[in-house]
Chains A and B, each alone.
Chain A
């Protein structure tokens, strides 16, 4: 078998804290092995892009990270705690520190934009007053530039606006870690670029560490500090964005078409 070029050493910011540590993560559905021993680390403050074609197991990977899917084996340590070992109470404490942007946006379509943004804060009534919640909601919407749409229903918004509202809903809780599942899929190039810029803004403003999962190379290059390429459930190549742009590897090149 051909040696897979992995240039760990160049890009790992050694002085930084590890926020998410994944070791030998495996996940199968029936006979289908979707993830075969994935190991990776997310460092504090970085934007890590996981690049892979459709069906390569990207969504399965981040759903395992937040415990929406149970991994078959392996370690998933977030802020020092191993997700598979946690009881539901500890798990929900960890989940409060994570923002998850779903591929489909996952806005509650029976609720207005305002109710959608208030929803993640509904169990915090003893911590935040009504005014504080209102302020947080407006702040988050302001960040994505949609304060005028407060009382609209999701169905009345365009695809790009829905993505922004869901981004606002994930940042309303001030997460430490952001997980983006194909944030630009299904959007036109201009809107995609806007969303990519927003991802960078979130990283700067909220000091988050993020995993961005995508097959959109433009989004990857705009947002990534580091890229990991996934192929058939395994890590195929890892490195700084420049290494991918100038790569002679046929598989890596295929993303640039």
Chain B
């Protein structure tokens, strides 16, 4: 076998891969550009936007409630013995509140939402694409980016902070329940102890990044759905890659956000 042709084959495959990689980057930027343009266009689709807020926000509340409560409970049960070793059990409420608000609440809620909301958007839009519903919409003088994509991204961006706040609160409630398994403390006392350690500096950066997480989930789901290939198999593919890539991006955005916050504190 000629080693030279082997090399050429590898080079060709690398070249076509890098080419599609750059093509995809260009595609993503075009998509972002169109979305921004349509977001600020005159006829905003308010009805669809509110409907999406309901779908994305309200319908995810039960899931977030369960996750948040268990997160707080488990975190408390796990860290209590360690704090007891240091004789610092009184620090428990504050420590839980700070770790929930700064990190656990936003990231875990966002990852769960990447699973539920991201895959939902990816699957819905890709099936609309595959069955020509998006084409049909374009022909009936409705801009599908404005109607489908902008509304979903904005709804996800605005609803995620709400879901995170909800998870934080229920997490502290769960933590109080965990603290009550061993020991006896009133909710009011636990709550005031918890929040005596939380400052704006814990809250604000964490709150800001939840908007970014929401935008990431909405954008990745929409991009994957809107760029689905042909055939029903691409619906599954779009839903799957929405979850994977949104989750990965959330972790990366979180890391960058933490670095930036760290520089200013």
Inter-chain contact A122/B142, CB cutoff 8 Å: yes
A104 and B142 contacting across the interface, CB-CB below 8 Å? no
Docked pose: A103 CA to B135 CA in angstroms = 12
Indicate if the CB atoms of B141 and A95 lie closer than 8 Å.
yes
Cβ–Cβ contact A119 & B132, under 8 A? no
A108 touches which of B133, B138, B139 (Cβ 8 Å): B133
Tell me whether chain A's interface is mostly helix, strand or loop, or mixed.
Answer: loop
B140 with A120: CB separation less than 8 A: yes
CA distance A122 to B142 in the complex (A): 9
How would you classify the secondary structure of chain B's contact residues: helix, strand, loop or mixed? Answer: helix
Let me know if B82 is at the binding interface, CB within 8 A.
Answer: no
A102 near B141 (CB under 8 angstroms)?
no
Taking CB atoms, residues of chain A closer than 8 Å to B141 are 92, 95-96, 120, 123
Check B33 for interface membership: any CB of A closer than 8 A.
no
Write the chain B residue with the least CB distance to A96: B141
Q: How far is the CA of A19 from the CA of B128 in the complex (A)?
A: 31
Q: A100 contacts B142, CB within 8 Å? A: no
- Considering the chains assembled together, what is the distance between the CA atoms of A189 and B55 in angstroms? 41
Residue A66 lies at the interface, judged by CB distance under 8 Å to chain B: yes
A63 to B137, CA, bound (A): 14
CB-based contact A98/B139 at 8 Å: yes
Q: Is the CB of A102 within 8 A of B136?
A: yes
A157: which B residues are within 8 A, CB to CB? none
Does B131 count as interface, using CB distance less than 8 angstroms? yes
Is A106 interfacial (CB-CB < 8 Å)?
yes
- Among candidates A103, A105, A119, residue contacting B140 with C-beta atoms closer than 8 Å: A119
Check A188 for interface membership: any CB of B closer than 8 A: no
- Write the chain A residue with the least CB distance to B45: A122
- Contact partner of B132 (CB less than 8 A), chosen from A96, A104, A123, is A104
Q: Which among B127, B128, B133, B139 is the interface contact of A66 at CB below 8 angstroms?
A: B139
What is the distance, in angstroms, from B124's C-beta to the closest C-beta of chain A?
A: 8
Shortest CB-to-CB span from A208 to chain B, Å, is 16
User: In the complex the two chains form, is A119's CB within 8 Å of B139's CB?
Assistant: no
> Any chain B CB within 8 A of the CB of A2?
no
- Write the nearest CB–CB distance from A50 to chain B, whole angstroms: 18
Bound: A111/B136 CA distance, A: 14
CB proximity of A130 to chain B, nearest CB, Å: 15
Q: Is the pair B142, A106 in contact by a Cβ cutoff of 8 Å? A: no
Which 5 A-B pairs give the minimum distances between C-beta atoms? A120-B140, A106-B136, A106-B132, A102-B132, A92-B141
Sample 9 A-B pairs with CB under 8 A, ordered by A number: A63-B135, A96-B141, A100-B136, A102-B135, A106-B133, A106-B135, A106-B136, A109-B131, A109-B133
Given contacts A66-B139, A106-B131, 14 further A-B contacts (CB under 8 A): A68-B135, A68-B138, A92-B141, A95-B139, A95-B140, A95-B141, A96-B141, A98-B139, A106-B132, A108-B133, A108-B137, A109-B127, A109-B131, A110-B124
